[in-house]
Amino acid sequence: MSVKNNISRRSVLRGMVGVGALGMVSSSMLVKTAMAGGTVTIGFVYVGAKDDYGYNQAHAEGAAALKSIPGVKVIEEENVAETNDVQKTLESMINLDDTKLLFPTSFGYFDPHMLKVAAKYKDLTFLHCGGLWTEGKHPANTGSYFGYIDEAQYLSGVVAGYASKTKKLGFVAAIPIPQVLRNINSFTLGAQSVDPSITTQVIFTGGWSEPVKEAEATNSLIDQGVDVVTCHVDGPKVIVETAEKRGIYSCGYHASQASLAPKGYLTGAEWNWAKVYTDYVTSYLKGEEIPNLVRGGLKEGVVKTSAYGPAVSAEAREHADAVKAQFMAGEFVIYKGEIKDNKGNVVIAAGQSNSQTDIALESMDYLVSGVIGDVRS
Amino acid sequence: MEAVDLGLWSVPLAVFAGAIRVSTPFLFVSLGECLTERSGRINLGLEGTLVFGAMSGYAVSYLTGSAWLGVLVAGLAGSLFGLLHALICNMPKVNDIALGIALMMLGTGLAFFLGKNYIQPQAPNLPAISLGSWSDLAPVRSALEINALFIIGLILVPSLIFFLNHTRWGLMLRTVGDSEDAARAIGFSVKGVRTFSTMAGGFLAGVGGSFLSLYYPGSWSEGLSSGQGITAVALVIFARWNPLYCFYASLLFGGAGALGPALQAVGITSGYYLFNAAPYILTLIIMIFSSSSTHRFAGAPGELSVTR
Amino acid sequence: MTISARTLGAIEALFIPLLAILISMILFAVFVWIAGSSPADVFALMYKGAFGTSFSIENTLQRAAPLILAALCTALPAHLGMVIIGGEGALVIGGLSAAGIALTLPSGSSPLMIQTVMILSGMLMGGLWIGASGFLRHVRGVNETISSLLLSYIAIAILNHMVSGPLRDPSSLNKPSTRPIGDENMIGSIPGMDVHWGLVMGIIFCACAYVLMYRTTFGFSARMVGGNVRAAAMSGLPVGRLLVITCVIAGAAAGLAGAVEVAAVHGAANAPFAAGYGYTGILIAFLARQNPLAIIPVAILMAGIDASGGLLQRRLDLPDATVYVLQGIIFIVILACETLFGRFNIFQPKETA
């Protein structure tokens, strides 16, 4: 027990993945909650609509997977703003619905909102999506989870690299923050592993849900000669549909948008929250300790890729499957030197390699060579 | 698809294409509001009408398979909101601006309430008319994929000008808008005319909303309108209650909306939040320069509360 | 005949809005019934979520705090016949400036000092923002409804630009924000309840605004302007000064709301903090018939409706927009009922109809 905890603690300090109760990362334990029988109520809070074909739908699908577990009651609230609103929603779930385990799923819920509520209800468990929990800084009854979805983005990049004829890829992104930049870079590096001359044009829309700007950005990209587009916004529906209408390829994000683009959908980077939530709740019901920090990629089943669309060539499948197998074996490193940013500076020196769990990647503030765009807003 | 690098030329092209794509909702709402305001009423609720039109149009298109039926229903729903606005404002002591804000809230609320089941499904979209088949350049061809609603909007502009200036009904509408007393003296029904013009305005705003959900960007979601409806109301004042200027102003707002992404596509990336606010800043500046504290806003209907 | 005309007027002013709320509830009940839920269940849950438990009451009061101040931003200029709908802009710019100025203060400053400076800065900037609308109206004849709306879009763009650019805290990696003002500098709760001091500030502001508008020469003059601008100008009232000063006070209220949001809730300025309280404030101001004291109960009622929305979603599976529908209905019915003032003989200084 203590040995395991020591290892995990050190792992977290290094930002590494230890093997915890969930087979992913673990560090110090959470307050154990003995189940006194009866049903336990679990609350999910979403920042947007549950069926947005994107971020919130991915979480809602995960929550839906819990409904079949006996002794579990799932309650949900959508369109909850990252303000006092979410604090009161959490407290309302606690006070009026006797919720014991809470999942505020939006990144911006964490600080200060969830932390404030968690400090007030120390015997309840709060698990936040975003991977922000830090030992010693954040309360022990809180936790955070996130996935290395850029692994799946890398695979999308590989597939896109084969599909593109113009060698120009497009990326519609919300705002230039590390998580988004990492996806853009991994996508580009994946494509460049097929053909180093490939470029990715990025357009930032300035917000997480801006349908008209997203459509406009997609059209601008296509007018520039881009023939595969992907994105990092809350609801990719408009982007994938616009790409299909204009007859180019698209790669999805958050959830599968395959049904929106039967011809042009190549593959996509999807969350697999059903697995994460089921693992959490199973441990919780058994009264096991729940790790404060849970992270994982393809190998741990936190993220997955959409099934290949009809336009994906056999060659592309073979290459992508081979890389995926390496990810599954925990052998593949995306950020391996020498990598230059798009201003010509070396960001990862030759011989240096930042593996997936490396904390340095979490504060990424550059776009790799071959990406056309600027991280300043 | 061939790759032709247009370089910086792609910016004006994208702004042009974007102006056409993005401007249509502005055009419909502003023409509708223009009609309403010329009769002496302001309906700020067109934002709600637009959102409800987007939702109802999409839902009907999905349920019946006919996008045009969706447009029609969106328009009819819009005219119902217009009717509600008109009937309540016809009663004495009711503030039309406040009621507009209330209708904005109700329209948006109802659209979100009833629209939950239509966020996911894909509804048939309106077809585009290809006017660019003469060109070899894909971006040009795409820029000239024009929706029939834009063309209808284009035709509406001279029609409305003709209606307002050269028909008996148009005269009636303008008289009611300029002076209630004069209209009554002639024997026009002030309430009747305003009810008609608010319903017509609502119809156009509903159609404008259906353009958002049925053509561009072409699906229903709760974040679909980023205030196009209320911006269009401001745009009418900017356009001096003239349908032709409404058209230009809509193109300007649409083009400004396309400018940010287009500039980023060619590598000009900083300050996009400020770029996005450019149309609002521009409108404010123009209002400051074209208004006056001593005489009434040129072209303003005399009975309009916002210009008094 | 025993009741004075003034009392009758007050009863009428109370009776008609209550009647309107009753009508709205009936309409809403029909709506909910058509949507397939039991109106009785809905009302029972709404009561529980808004006022039914001590938590619910705190929830409602906390939500009411920014709404009270935002409503003043529309209500005060209305006394001069202006319709200001840009309270959101003043709120946003006030919050942004409060967060910005907190970070420029020397590190040894006491929390009280920091909070005071934040609040003053928020009020000043919010005041300037709406004051600009009043100024433009007076000097250039620019319609204040439209200018305040445009200014609020501009304010939101400035907020987004500043928090993701010049004022961005480099360590706010994935949620662009200004640097946090620090836990020790946050405005805390009113002793004994989980509601921050913003509520008290709002109530005090309302009381002062009431006194200003109904018990001072300034307020009397301002309402003269609202009655008839030309007559007021001819009788020698400084119309421009009245317009601008009232707008500045109104903007200061909204700016204070923004500063309190930053100082009591968020701890920093960031995009989510522009949460639309300014728009709900418009609704409240009209429901309160622009009376600063009436704003307090109306804001609490609206906040209660907001607070109960979650419960409706969780228990009855009704969409989150249910509460907007109810608020929209109430708003419309109340405005429509304006027309009833003076129509009931019973409220006229004469016995029965």
Question: Residue C146 is encoded by which pair of tokens?
Answer: 């439209």
Instruction: Enumerate the residues of chain A whose CB falls inside 8 A of the CB of residue B22.
Output: 212, 216
Low-confidence ranges of chain B (pLDDT < 70): 1-8, 10, 269-270, 294-298, 306-308
Q: What are the domain boundaries of chain A?
A: 2-147+272-296, 150-270+303-372
Indicate the SS3 state at residue B196: helix
Least confident of A16-20, B296-300, C188-192: A16-20
Overall CATH class of domain A150-270+303-372: alpha beta
Q: What are phi and psi of C229, to 5 degrees?
A: -60, -45
> Hey, are the CB atoms on C266 and A83 less than 8 Å from each other?
yes
- Domain membership flag for residue B2: no
Residues from chain C that touch A80, judged by Cβ atoms under 8 A, are: 310, 320
Note the helical H segments in C174-291: 198-215, 217-227, 229-234, 239-260, 277-287
B217 in A contact zone (CB under 8 Å): yes
CB-based contact B55:B222 (threshold 8 Å): no
pLDDT band at A37 (very low <50, low <70, confident <90, very high): low
Calpha distance B283→B278 (Å, rounded): 9
Q: What value of ipTM does the predicted structure carry?
A: 0.91
Cβ–Cβ contact C325 with B under 8 A? yes
Interfacial A residues in 148-207 facing B (CB < 8 Å): 165-166, 168, 201-206
Partners of residue C147 in chain B, C-beta under 8 Å? 284, 287
Ordered domains of chain C (ranges, CATH): 1-37+320-353 (no CATH), 38-317 (1.10.3470)
**Could you give the number of structural domains in chain B?**
1
pLDDT value of residue A24: 45
Give the domain CATH number at B42: 1.10.3470
Q: Which residues pair with A218 in a beta bridge?
A: none
pLDDT digits (tens, 9 = 90+) for A245-296: 999 999 999 999 999 999 999 999 999 999 999 999 999 998 888 888 999 9
Residue B34 lies in a domain: yes
Chain center to CA of B37: 14
pLDDT tens-digit map of C136-163: 999 988 889 889 999 999 999 999 999 9
C136, C141, C147 member nearest B297 (Cβ)? C141
Residue B255 placed within a domain: yes
Q: What is the interface size between B and C, counted as CB pairs within 8 Å?
A: 147
Across the range C105-126, mean pLDDT stands at 94
- pLDDT class of A9 with cuts at 50, 70, 90: very low
Closest Cα to residue B269, out of A367, A197, C21?
A367
**Chain B CB contacts of A200 below 8 Å:** none
- Which residue in B has a C-alpha nearest to residue A241's C-alpha? B218
Amino acid at A11: S
Please state the rounded mean pLDDT for residues A147-174: 96
Contact residues, A window 12-51, toward B, CB-based 8 Å cutoff: 48-49, 51
CA distance C66 to chain A (A): 11
Chosen CATH of A2-147+272-296 out of 3.40.640.10, 3.30.365.10, 3.40.50.2300, 3.30.930.10: 3.40.50.2300
- Which residues 6+ apart lie within 8 Å of A249 measured at CB? A160, A163, A164, A227, A228, A229, A243, A264, A265, A266, A311
Residue C251 and residue C147 in contact, taking contact as beta carbons nearer than 8 Å: no
pLDDT tens per residue across span C293-314: 999 999 999 999 999 999 999 9
In a domain, B1, yes or no: no
Distance of residue A49 Cα from the nearest chain C Cα, in angstroms: 9
Q: Note which residues in 135-194 of chain B have CB less than 8 A from chain A.
A: 138-139, 142-143
Q: What is the pLDDT of residue C1?
A: 52
* Cα distances (angstroms) measured from residue B69 to each of B59, B126, B224, C34: 10, 10, 20, 24
- Which residues span the domain enclosing B57? 7-290+298-307
Exposed / middle / buried, residue C109 (Cβ in 10 Å: 0-12, 13-18, 19+): middle
Q: Which of the residues B42, B88, B95, B101 would you substitute to probe the C interface, choosing the one with the greatest number of C C-beta atoms within 10 Å?
A: B101
Of A50-54, A91-95, B128-132, the least confident: B128-132
Residue A195, burial from CB neighbour count under 10 angstroms (0-12, 13-18, 19+)? exposed
Domain assignment present for B107? yes
Nearest-CA distance C216 → chain A (Å): 37
**Two tokens at C312?**
């409706």
Q: How many CB atoms lie within 10 A of CB B248?
A: 15
DSSP state of A332: -
Residues in chain C: 353
Q: What digits encode the pLDDT tens for the residues C209-252?
A: 999 999 999 999 999 998 888 888 888 899 999 999 999 999 99
pLDDT at A377 (0 to 100):
58
Q: Check if the beta carbon of residue B243 is closer than 8 Å to that of residue B164.
A: yes
List of chain C residues whose C-beta atoms are within 8 Å of the C-beta of residue B293: 138-141
Q: Mind telling me how many Å the CA of C123 is from chain A's nearest CA?
A: 21
Q: Does C11 touch chain B (CB under 8 A)?
A: no
The answer for residues whose C-beta is within 8 angstroms of residue B302's C-beta and 6 or more apart is: B40, B177, B178, B179, B296
Neighbouring-strand partners of residue A172: A203, A231
Of chain B residues 19-48, which have a CB less than 8 A from chain A?
Answer: 21-22
Check: CB of residue A8 under 8 Å from CB of residue A26: yes
Q: According to the model, what pLDDT value does residue A45 have?
A: 97
C-alpha to C-alpha distance for B9 and B137, rounded to whole angstroms: 12
What lies within 8 Å, CB to CB, of A162 at 6+ separation is: A194, A312, A313, A315, A316, A319
Task: Please provide the distance, in angstroms rounded to a whole number, between the alpha carbons at the two ends of chain C.
Answer: 13
Total Cβ atoms within 10 A of residue A356: 23
The residue that leads in pLDDT, C201 or B20, is C201
Q: Which two tokens stand for residue C161?
A: 């630009």
Is there a common fold for A2-147+272-296 and A150-270+303-372?
A: yes
Average pLDDT over residues A221-233: 93
Best C135, C146, C164 residue to mutate vs chain B (most B CBs within 10 Å)? C146
Contact partners for chain C, using 3 or more CB pairs closer than 8 A, are A, B
